[in-house]
Structure 1
Amino acid sequence: MDETPQWYVLRDLSRPNAKLSAFEKLTGRGVRCFTPMVKKPIERRGKHGWKDVPYMRDLLFAHSTRDVLDPFMRPGLKLQYRYIYGGFMEPMTVREADMERFILAVTSSVSSKYYRPEEITPAMRNRRIRIIGGPLHGYEGSLVTVRGTTVKRLLVELPMLLAAAVEVEPDSYNSCKRKNSAINFLRHTSFLYLCLHEDRMRFGIGKPENFVFVCLCAHLSLSLLLYIMTWRNGV
């Protein structure tokens, strides 16, 4: 078994009123964990205040190895791996660089607004910017603006899992030129096309061999377009 620590995506099934959450159990054993937190208004003994609670109760990231984490996955311990869809019991992981960048972004921001993947709209990715200076220097992402406010936010994503819009100063970024808009459009179109054929196959409308052929064509089309765009840009 690979002993290299990775960021594993876990599912915390413990009750909200449990004495110890999965986060506390793992960190108590020296495992580095992360879960996005938001502030929730509470009332205690007639006084109003705020409490930090997980944005998604069952979402937890743990940086460790399978040898360390597997004992926590025993039945009854209320903790599970999240598995890759379509894979054979393969735990879901996040790239080291992507996870560290996400943690850095949300911890260095005064306030972060989180989004589930289905809440991200094309309009939120309409303008690309590059951060200048600060802990996120050089990072490129989408600028999210909220109507009626002057707050500017940078969209930082963990693909298919979570996104966070973190505050940025108006003079701390530059606009990026959209050189590869054609590639992004074809990627998005191909993804929707594959999802459509997957649904057709699941409901017995399409044949598995046709789905394999569609996947092959989409991959070849993306590869060809990427080669052409790279050649035109002289990269």
Structure 2
Amino acid sequence: MGTDNEIEVWHAMRATYRRELDAVHLLEKENLGCFVPMQYKVSIRKGKKVRALVPVIRNLVFVHARPSDVQRVKSQITYLQYITDTRSGQKIVVPDHEMQRFIAVAGTYNDHLLYFQPEELNLSRGTRVRITGGDFAGQEGVFLKVKGARDRRVVIEIQGVIAVAMATIHPDLIEVIK
């Protein structure tokens, strides 16, 4: 397939040995779009509390580029690998609308977001909803009870890769999608 008729898609990838931030710098040098879900963590260094922005899930990088560009850069960055679907063996490609929704939520670096591996949640037990107000207005997800939270939360999932549960949202700001 020629590079002229390829479209840019989101690839779910791993950067082994905690080198996701190195991979992001190299990808940005190549003018390729990328996203790593980050979160603030408080740790103690030399007896002082330090608040630092760190990756939520180690080794996870989303790359927005044409497949041929990813293949070219991947040959230069040996520790960058595709994440494949365990059932089909196919590379995981995330639809743009799913990725935009995920970035809109995960890109806030909100301390109240909870992240899960896909197998930790049963989204089929929840209700599809749209948020009508507040910081996440317009976002759609699944409303369900998640572990680690007292109340139900709206969850946005990237199939087979990661899921994020938003901060508590008042029920008046949620509408059910039929």
Q: TM-score range by the shorter chain?
A: 0.7 to 0.9
- 2:28 counterpart of 1:35: no
- 2:28 counterpart of 1:7: no
Q: 1:148 to 1:120 in 2, by over 3 A?
A: closer
* C-alpha separation in 2, matches of 1:108 and 1:61: 16
**Offset of 1:83 from its aligned partner?**
3.1
**Offset of 1:154 from its aligned partner?**
0.9
- 2:105 counterpart of 1:80: no
User: Whose strand fraction is larger, Structure 1's or Structure 2's?
Assistant: 2
User: Whose helix fraction is larger, Structure 1's or Structure 2's?
Assistant: 1
- Give me the identity figure in percent: 27
Structure 2 matches for 1:60-139, cutoff 5 A? 60-74=61-75, 77-85=78-86, 90-108=90-108, 110=110, 111-121=112-122, 125-134=125-134, 135-137=136-138, 139=140
Tell me, yes or no, if the aligned pair for 2:23 and 2:77 is still in contact at 8 Å: no
Q: 1:109 to 1:44 in 2, by over 3 A?
A: closer
Paired residues, number: 172
Instruction: Kindly indicate whether structure 1 or structure 2 has the higher relative contact order, using CA contacts under 8 Å at least 6 residues apart.
Output: 2
Tell me, yes or no, if the aligned pair for 2:20 and 2:58 is still in contact at 8 Å: no
TM-score, length of structure 2 as denominator length? 0.78
- 2:160 counterpart of 1:160: yes
Q: Deviations over 1:191-232 (max 9, x none)?
A: xxxxxxxxxxxxxxxxxxxxxxxxxxxxxxxxxxxxxxxxxx
RMSD of aligned residue pairs (Cα, Å): 3.1
Unaligned runs of 5+ in 1: 178-235
Q: Whose radius of gyration is greater, 1 or 2?
A: 1
Tell me, yes or no, if the aligned pair for 1:144 and 1:155 is still in contact at 8 Å: no
